[in-house]
Amino acid sequence: MYTVKNALEYIKENTISVKDDCWKLGYHIMPPVGWLNDPNGLIQYNDEYHVFYQYYPYGAEWGPMHWGHVKSKDLVNWEQLQVALAPDQPYEKGCFSGSAVDNDGELTLVYTAHDDDKNPKETQCIATSRDGINFTKYENNPVIPNPPEDGTQDFRDPKVWKHEDKWYMVVGNSSNGKGRVLLYYSEDLREWNYKGVIAESDGTLGDMWECPDLFKLGDKYVLVVSPMNMENHKNIYIIGDLDYETGKFIKESYHEIDYGQDFYAAQTFLDNSGRRILIGWMNMWRTKIPTQRKGWAGALTLPRELKLSEDGTVTAMPIEEVKLLRKTSYEFSDIKVTENEEGYLKEVKGKHIEMEVTFDISNCTASKFGILLRASKDHCEGTYIVYDMNTQEIIVDRAKSGEGECCITTASLPLNNSTLKLRAFIDSSSLEVFCNEGEVVLSNRIYPNETNLSIDLFSKDGDVNVGSFKAWELKSIW
């Protein structure tokens, strides 16, 4: 039987292989052992940040879902806590994704109970805690036992928030081969009323919308969904307005949250200072995960602050607190990068690095330029961050990154002025790239040889000037 106690005992006895892994992450949330996927229950509770996550402790592959749990005082230094939820009730074979709210001092987890994979049924349940660590499941679970009659049993991932004097919930669902999001409301988190379908796919955006999230940003509402059976399992957001009276979301436009290969199931929360902060799962279904042979798989992205830009799109940049990780710094300026030259950054090496690079393209003659990282001396291995002047695209090229998926991820990035700013975070087996002020982000897992630590600049078919290059070694939190 799966219990919190059994999970705790197993974790204590089986973390050695993970500690010795060269790809163990230094400053990202990852499992102590076993499998991690969706972030769940993001919340600031009693002045501490809590992050829960989909977790199977007993193997480095997806299994009966538990809720793993970490907390932090600053969003960068995390403490692993005991498993918060285990599938220990008759109505659940897995505790699927959900959210967390502070109900007058009672931390309440709202999650999906998944029952019987041969004839699956998904219901919405709650569990409560006064200390933020030990949770008791509601005796009258499930609080929403069935989807609407016109929906399938794909009925999961509740996200709950309070508006005025009512609680609201969005839940992912499917109907007639189209993904959709349902809206519910409640006075007490226990008795729920169905409001209706808030938004649905037009037939091109997947057949099931997982992990919905709905929040106000600036003067707009943002609906986040993770569509199934859409190319690359993209994570999208839809800009629009919400009418609480009718329960309708008026759509205006949709965009991708992250253009990398390894990003899905994003969730947000509002912290006490009013920031809208997002964390995503930094892996992807049906991809190679070399760390599985060391007994673990999956990680979460750095927390990102979301803002609504003047053009009505959402930008995402690392939270200010990531600067607490900085150690040794490096700084260079006015570098002319020429084709077939190398060794511009000989001093900068490492597994845990933050970089800020400003390219001056006013006199650029190169067709492509960028950064080479985690590279071998002969450049037979390495990951490339490339800007293509002709197509005006930013590219992360993992064709020679080591183990894992050998793929290229690309995003359109037209430049409106004479500079391109890239901010990149390298961890032992991950790379997150933020472009300019966060209008484009690419998250990818990489699995290089542990001895390949070099970083360099490059150009092709001409020259490019680097106005400023700054880098910091980052400390490990584990």
d(CA 234, CA 262): 10
Task: List residues with catalytic annotation.
Answer: 38
Q: Using alpha carbons, list the distances in angstroms from residue 463 to 337, 346, 420, 421, 473.
A: 6, 19, 15, 17, 28
Question: How many residues make up the chain in this entry?
Answer: 478
Whether 231 shows a pLDDT value over 90: the answer reads no
Residue 220 has pLDDT above 80, yes or no: yes
Which of 97, 54, 439 minimizes the C-alpha distance to 237?
Answer: 439
Percent of residues, the chain, with pLDDT higher than 70: 99
Using 50, 70 and 90 to split pLDDT, how confident is the model at 22? very high
Mean pLDDT confidence for 196-214:
95
Instruction: Count Cβ atoms within 10 A of the Cβ of residue 440 and give its class: 0-12 exposed, 13-18 middle, 19 or more buried.
Output: buried
Cα gap 232→407, rounded to integer Å: 12
What is residue 4's three-state secondary structure? helix
pLDDT, tens digit, 9 for 90 and up, residues 347-364: 999 999 999 999 999 999
For the chain, the straight-line distance linking the first and the last C-alpha, in angstroms and rounded, comes to: 30
- pLDDT tens figures, 373-391: 999 999 999 999 999 999 9
Residue 51: the pLDDT is 99
Tens-digit pLDDT profile for residues 89-110: 999 999 999 999 999 999 999 9
Structure confidence at residue 233 (pLDDT):
60
Kindly report the pTM of this predicted structure. Answer: 0.97
Q: Is the pLDDT of residue 232 over 70?
A: no
Q: Is the pLDDT of residue 407 over 90?
A: no
**Domains of the chain, first to last:** 4-318 (2.115.10.20), 322-474 (2.60.120.560)
- For the cut 80, the answer to whether the pLDDT of residue 168 exceeds it is yes
Cis omega (within 30 of 0) on the bond before 31?
A: no
Residue 119 pLDDT: 79
> What average pLDDT does the segment 67-75 reach?
99
Report pLDDT for 1.
86
Q: Alpha-carbon distance 151 to 364, whole Å?
A: 55
107-146 pLDDT per residue, tens = 999 999 999 877 789 999 999 999 999 999 999 999 999 9
Q: What is the pLDDT of the chain when averaged over all its residues?
A: 96
Is the pLDDT at 76 greater than 90? The verdict is yes
Q: With CA atoms as reference, report the closest residue to 106 among 45, 172, 178.
A: 45
Measured between alpha carbons, how far is 33 from 30 in angstroms, rounded to an integer?
8
